[in-house]
A = this chain, B = another copy of it.
Amino acid sequence: MRIAITTGGGDAPGLNAVIRAAVLTAIDRGWHVLGIKKGYAGLLGDDEVIPLTRDQVRGIGHLGGTILRTTNRGNPFSYPVRQADGSFIKRDRSDELIENARNLGINAVISIGGDGSLAIAHRLAQKGLRVVGVPKTIDNDVSGTISTFGFDTAVNTAMEAIDKLHTTAESHDRVIVMEVMGRHSGFIALHSGVAGAAHAILIPEIPYDLAKVCDAIMAREKRGRFFDVVVVAEGAYPSGGEESVIGESMPGQARRVGGVAESLARQIQEKTGKECRSLVLGHLQRGGMPTGYDRLLATRFGGAAVQAVEDGKWGHMVALQSPDIVTLPIEEALLHTKRVDLGHDLMKTARRLGISFGD
Contact = CB atoms under 8 A, between A and B. Distances in A.
Nearest to A23: B353
A52 interface: no
A349 B284 contact: no
B62 A197 contact: yes
A191 interface: yes
A70 B345 contact: no
Contact of A172 (B70, B196, B341, B354): B70
Interface string A228-272: 000000000000000000000000001000100010000000000
A279 interface: yes
A322 B325 contact: no
Contacts of A64: 164, 167-168
A63 B167 contact: yes
Nearest 7 CB-CB pairings of A with B: A164-B287, A303-B349, A65-B167, A64-B167, A195-B295, A164-B288, A25-B352
24 contacts: A21-B349, A25-B349, A69-B171, A69-B172, A71-B172, A146-B322, A152-B293, A156-B292, A159-B292, A165-B284, A167-B288, A277-B282, A277-B283, A279-B280, A280-B280, A293-B293, A299-B346, A302-B349, A303-B348, A307-B348, A323-B344, A324-B344, A324-B345, A325-B345
Given A21-B349, A38-B173, 14 more contacts: A11-B168, A15-B171, A28-B352, A28-B354, A70-B172, A159-B295, A163-B288, A164-B284, A176-B283, A192-B292, A194-B295, A299-B346, A304-B345, A323-B341
